[in-house]
Amino acid sequence: MIPSQLVFKVNAQCNIACTYCYQDALAPETFRSRYQTMDVAVLGQCLDACFAELKSRRAPIRINLQGGEPLLVGLATFARYLDTIRESATRHGVKPEVSIQTNALLLDDAFCALLEKHEVTIGVSIDGPPDLHDRRRIDKGGHGTGKRVEAKIALALRAGARVAGICVADPEADGAAVYEYFCRIGLPSVHILLPAQNHATSLTLRDARSYAPFLKGMFDAWAAREEGGTRIADFEEVVASLLGLTFRSWVLNAAPSAWTCFLPDGAIETGD
């Protein structure tokens, strides 16, 4: 059975060099050398096969386009991706929710307009204020990207785009201060991740426990805000679980992921 959440790695290349990058855990260059850019026809074939099965279900269909850095394919190719999603969805009578995951450095007015036209949520990787963000998310020249990412988020919000953040937790950071920063720059929502295994290290249970102070600090700051703050979907789901409601967060619950991941050549992985 195909999960109703579909991830398409449309491009294997990236324009920055995050120190915690998990892509291709065993050999970081293998993924990038084997795969380049997803052909539009491959995307269409994958979508048609998935939608044909998923259309009979009531579960919402979610599509995430990522990489590498997905915007490296260029505006014209990305527009063809979005047209292909719309055309396939129309053929099968489904209405998927579409998002991208980007480092935001290539966002400009044209990309923002395209994504807004297709009602695509822009997921931006941002780990906190520039001084914290720049510890891990550096460009290939070794320079921090935080101030540039902050400016691109402001650009997207001014354009009326749907924007959400993804933050990789840092056990040395002040979770409350990170949360207040997200509120200050106007991020509507943020999803929290723990670093995954990469080509150099893997996350152990003991390592995971070291993130508790960061998560507690962020949770306390989030809970103290009565209204108008940045939403943290992971915390909302934890609270929902305590109330006996459904708990879906794979990050905090360590549950198997409920998505299918397609590599640029159309090969399938069971998780991201």
Q: Which residues lie across from 125 on neighbouring strands?
A: 166
Q: Do strands 189-193 and 231-232 pair parallel, antiparallel, or not at all (unpaired)?
A: parallel
Number of neighbouring beta carbons within 10 Å of residue 3: 19
Stretch 54-82: mean pLDDT = 94
- pLDDT for 248 equals 56
CB neighbour list of residue 54: distance below 8 Å, 6 or more residues apart: 2, 4, 61, 94
The helix/strand/coil state of 267 is: coil
- pLDDT for 34 equals 59
- pLDDT for 202 equals 57
- pLDDT for 26 equals 43
Residue whose token pair is 């065993």: 26
Which among 41, 37, 111 has a CA at the least distance from the CA of 75?
Answer: 111
Percent of the chain whose predicted confidence (pLDDT) is above 90: 67
Which among 70, 216, 195 has a CA at the least distance from the CA of 127?
Answer: 195
* Alpha helices, H only, the chain: 28-34, 40-54, 75-92, 109-117, 130-133, 146-158, 175-184, 205-209, 212-224, 233-242, 250-253
For the stretch 123-164, pLDDT in tens is 999 999 999 999 999 999 999 999 999 999 999 999 999 999
The distance from CA 184 to its chain's CA centroid, rounded to whole angstroms, is: 21
CA distance 260 to 272: 8
CA distance 234 to 257: 14
- pLDDT for 9 equals 94
The helix/strand/coil state of 166 is: strand
pLDDT band at 254 (very low <50, low <70, confident <90, very high): very low
For the stretch 9-60, pLDDT in tens is 999 889 999 988 866 444 455 555 556 899 999 999 999 999 999 998 877 8
- pLDDT for 203 equals 56
For the stretch 179-211, pLDDT in tens is 999 999 999 999 998 876 544 555 555 677 889
Residue type at 94 in one-letter notation = V
For residues 233 and 182, the model is more confident at 182
- pLDDT for 226 equals 77
What's the chain's average pLDDT?
A: 87
Look up the pTM and report it. Answer: 0.89
- pLDDT for 1 equals 67
pLDDT band at 173 (very low <50, low <70, confident <90, very high): very high
Percent of the chain whose predicted confidence (pLDDT) is above 70: 84
269 pLDDT above the threshold of 70: yes
CA distance 142 to 157: 28
